[in-house]
Amino acid sequence: MERTFVMIKPDGVQRGLVGKIVQRFEAKGLKIVAMKMRTLPLDVAQEHYVEHREKPFFGDLVDFITSGPSVPMVVEGKDAISEVRKMNGATNPTNAQPGTIRGDFGLDMGRNVIHGSDSPESAQREIALHFNEAELMGYTRIDETWLYE
């Protein structure tokens, strides 16, 4: 099983989409192994988006992600990274397919509702940035035998 980092951004929280988004992951068969609500501190936000530090939109990105509460979580399942990215849809909601989270709920490139790790390395780094080991729950869902061969 693979773990990935997902964060419902402040626009998703403010629009009351947390439950709808979490329900999609659970209905897919992915398991939530950590989740909390928090307003990201500036240093955590800057480290989260470190790969964009030299880009002109870095300041706006950090300002937005620290503007209100977000819901970081760790999601686990077979091919979780690629599955979550497919479910999230294209980064720019205008290019996201209907049925994806961004296609259904995203309105603007800068307000695209959700973040998901793009690689195993990013997932590992982002999980460690937002959660300590004690916050990650290991458990077996009752339906797992029906989800995987």
* Vertex 62: Cα angle to 35 and 118 (nearest 5): 55
Does 52 qualify as catalytic in the annotation?
no
Beta strands 71-77 and 31-35, pairing class: antiparallel
Q: Which of 48, 52, 115, 130 is catalytic?
A: 115
Are 31 and 75 spatial neighbours (Cβ–Cβ below 8 Å)? yes
Residue 4 phi, psi (nearest 5): -140, 160
> Could you list the active site residues?
115
